[in-house]
Homo-oligomer: A and B are copies of this chain.
C-alpha cells in the first residue's frame, strides 16, 4: 500500500459509490430483506443502518432483534469496507472494473460478540479494514443502538483477490 496515498485521504468517485450502493442495497437481495442501507462510504471505514421491523424480531417476548440480523449485517458491512478500501487502492481502474471485484470477495470467517440486547427503532453498523493484503483482508465491525451504545462487535477475514 505504500505506493498509494493513505486510504483515508482518497476520495471515492461518485460512479463507484453509486455502483457499490446499488449492488449492496439491491442486488445482494438478502441485504434488502434486512433493510440494510449504506450511510457513509469511505476508504478508511463505512457505516450503515438497519431499521427495526417485525420480520427481524428474534425474541418475540421482548421485541429484540434476532442475533442473525446482527451477524448478517456485520458480515455484509465488513465486506463493504473491503470493497471501499479496494476501490481506493485501484483508482487507476475504471469504476466498473473495480465493482467486478465484489464478485470475487468472499468471507473466510466471522466472529460476533453479543454484548447487549438489541432493542430500539434504529441501529447503526460500522466497519473498518484493519489490514488489506493482496489476498486477505481483516476487518473490525461494530453494531450500535440509536443512542450510540455498543451492542455487538465483530471481526472477519475476507478473501479479496
Using a CB–CB cutoff of 8 Å, the interface residues on chain A facing chain B are: 23, 27-31, 33-34, 54-62, 66-69, 71-73, 75-76, 103, 106-117, 130-131, 135-136, 138, 140, 150, 153, 155, 157, 159, 161
Contacts and interface: CB of A to CB of B under 8 A. Distances in A.
Contact of A103 (B29, B59, B76): B59
Contacts of A157: 108-109, 113, 157
10 contacts: A28-B57, A29-B54, A33-B56, A68-B73, A107-B114, A109-B111, A113-B138, A115-B131, A130-B150, A136-B136
Contacts of A113: 108-109, 130, 138, 155, 157
Contacts of A150: 130
